[in-house]
Amino acid sequence: MLFWFIAIAVTAIACAALFYAAGSRAVNAGTPELDDANSHFRLVLAGIDADLAAGKLGEAEATAARGELAREILRLKSETGRVAGTGPAFGRTTLLAGLGGVAVLALGLYALLGNPDLPSQPLADRSDVAAQQIDIDAAIARIEAQLTANPDDLRGWTVIAPAYLEMGRYADAARAYRRMMELGEPTPDLQTNLAEALLLGAGDAGSDEAIALLRAAADADPSHAMSRLYLASVLTGQGHYDEAIPFWNAALALSTGDEPWLTAAQQGLAVAQNGGVAPANAQEAEMIGQMVGGLADRLAAQGGSVEEWTQLVRAYLVLGDTARAQAAYDDAVAAWPQAFDRGELDTLALGAGLTLNGATP
């Protein structure tokens, strides 16, 4: 409401100013129309005289200049008279109509485009509102801004590091954890977190730095489960099963029984114990066993394509049954004696460490 009051007042003032500008108190009213041109010629003439007096012009040049000026004045006089006053009359009604047009156009257009009720929201007034409806990107931007101004703010880094991790900005998270370690003590938690950020940033490949950090954390605190957990996981991923098993066991030993990572740790231990192959659970194993058995029976009875034999060997390998895989492979070689036909099968067998009986790779 206040806005419209001001807007209308401003419009009224502008229109009044325009209206009175056209009033009787015209500034150059009564000036003859030709006056300006004449005054210009008078200036030129004065200029010629002044230059002559100052010796900048010769007498002959001054005469020539005066002559030119006279010709110009004559030409102007002979031209058709002035046009002023010949057009349509510009009366008070016309002016009022124009001013009405201004008011309607301005207020109407603003009503269409403007947001009269929206208050200004400078930053200083906005911080309280902001706190309530904080969204993570903006909050992070804000903390970043503070940290740029004051990079020694440990609290800021503590807040922002997990947020980075959550947002997938692993490099930034690693930078934040490093900064925290510089500012404070390198606690096992920090070391583990930094290692986590490094591991996530690098994909599956665990870096030496991450492993070193995790080992340091595990050594520093014999009851630190998370560092052992990550270490076990990384070592398992790298194929160092023998090294991984004690860490899995240690982590499981430290658990109280309701940790979210418990199942994952048990599976990890099983994988490590099983030489890198995940053992399926009993029910699944039974089902898979039935399917594999069906395929094996069919192939033994009727024979089959190299692809089917390959499928069978792979199934045994996945189940961890190396002996049967070897037997199935030997049968397959018997069924398809030409090495040329068994390209993929031999590759699989070689990779799984089966003996290539009678077959030359």
Considering only residues 110 through 169, tell me which ones interact with other proteins, judged by CB under 8 A.
110, 113-116, 118-124, 126, 129-130, 133-135, 138-139, 141-142, 144-145, 148-149, 151
* Sign of the C-alpha dihedral computed for residues 61, 63, 64 and 66 taken in this order: positive
* Phi, psi dihedrals of residue 163, rounded to the nearest 5°: -65, -40
233 and 226 in contact (C-beta within 8 Å)?
Answer: no
When asked if residue 301 is in the footprint of other proteins (CB under 8 A), the reply is: no
Choose between 79 and 204: whose C-beta lies nearer to other proteins.
79
| Best CA proximity match to 293, nearest among 316, 277, 314, 310 | 316
Task: Please give the residues from 341 up to 360 whose contact with other proteins meets the rule CB under 8 A.
Answer: none
Q: What is the Cα–Cα distance from 235 to 174, expressed in whole angstroms? A: 21
Residue owning tokens 């591991």: 199
What is the length of the chain?
A: 361
Choose between 113 and 282: whose C-beta lies nearer to other proteins.
113
From 71-79, 227-235, 270-278, 283-291, give the range in contact with other proteins by CB under 8 A.
Answer: 71-79
From 6-14, 191-199, 207-215, 310-318, give the range in contact with other proteins by CB under 8 A.
Answer: 6-14
Cα-based angle 323, 329, 330 (whole degrees, multiple of 5): 90
Smallest distance from the beta carbon of 36 to other proteins, in angstroms?
5
Task: Please give the residues from 222 up to 261 whose contact with other proteins meets the rule CB under 8 A.
Answer: none
When asked if residue 81 is in the footprint of other proteins (CB under 8 A), the reply is: no
Question: Among 1, 5, 28, 260, which residue interacts with other proteins (rule: CB under 8 A)?
Answer: 28
When asked if residue 78 is in the footprint of other proteins (CB under 8 A), the reply is: no
Residues in Cβ contact with 298 at an 8 Å cutoff, skipping those fewer than 6 apart: 304
* Sign of the C-alpha dihedral computed for residues 70, 75, 80 and 82 taken in this order: negative
From 67-75, 186-194, 236-244, 348-356, give the range in contact with other proteins by CB under 8 A.
Answer: 67-75
Choose between 48 and 231: whose C-beta lies nearer to other proteins.
48
Choose between 6 and 287: whose C-beta lies nearer to other proteins.
6
Q: What is the Cα–Cα distance from 35 to 31, expressed in whole angstroms? A: 7
The amino acid that residue 81 corresponds to is: G
Task: Please give the residues from 32 up to 51 whose contact with other proteins meets the rule CB under 8 A.
Answer: 33, 36-37, 39-40, 43-44, 47-48, 51
Choose between 81 and 257: whose C-beta lies nearer to other proteins.
81
To the nearest 10°, report the CA torsion of 39, 45, 50, 55.
160
When asked if residue 105 is in the footprint of other proteins (CB under 8 A), the reply is: yes
Question: Among 12, 53, 61, 293, which residue interacts with other proteins (rule: CB under 8 A)?
Answer: 61
Residue 167 DSSP one-character state: H
Residues in Cβ contact with 188 at an 8 Å cutoff, skipping those fewer than 6 apart: 216, 217, 218, 220, 221, 224, 227
When asked if residue 93 is in the footprint of other proteins (CB under 8 A), the reply is: no
Smallest distance from the beta carbon of 361 to other proteins, in angstroms?
42
From 107-115, 238-246, 307-315, 320-328, give the range in contact with other proteins by CB under 8 A.
Answer: 107-115
How many residues sit close enough to other proteins to count as binding (CB under 8 A)? 82
What Cα–Cα distance (Å) separates residue 251 from each residue in 225, 229, 320? 5, 6, 26
Residue 361 DSSP one-character state: -
| Best CA proximity match to 336, nearest among 316, 307, 295 | 307
When asked if residue 88 is in the footprint of other proteins (CB under 8 A), the reply is: yes
Smallest distance from the beta carbon of 30 to other proteins, in angstroms?
9
When asked if residue 75 is in the footprint of other proteins (CB under 8 A), the reply is: yes
Question: Among 70, 94, 219, 291, which residue interacts with other proteins (rule: CB under 8 A)?
Answer: 94
Choose between 44 and 348: whose C-beta lies nearer to other proteins.
44
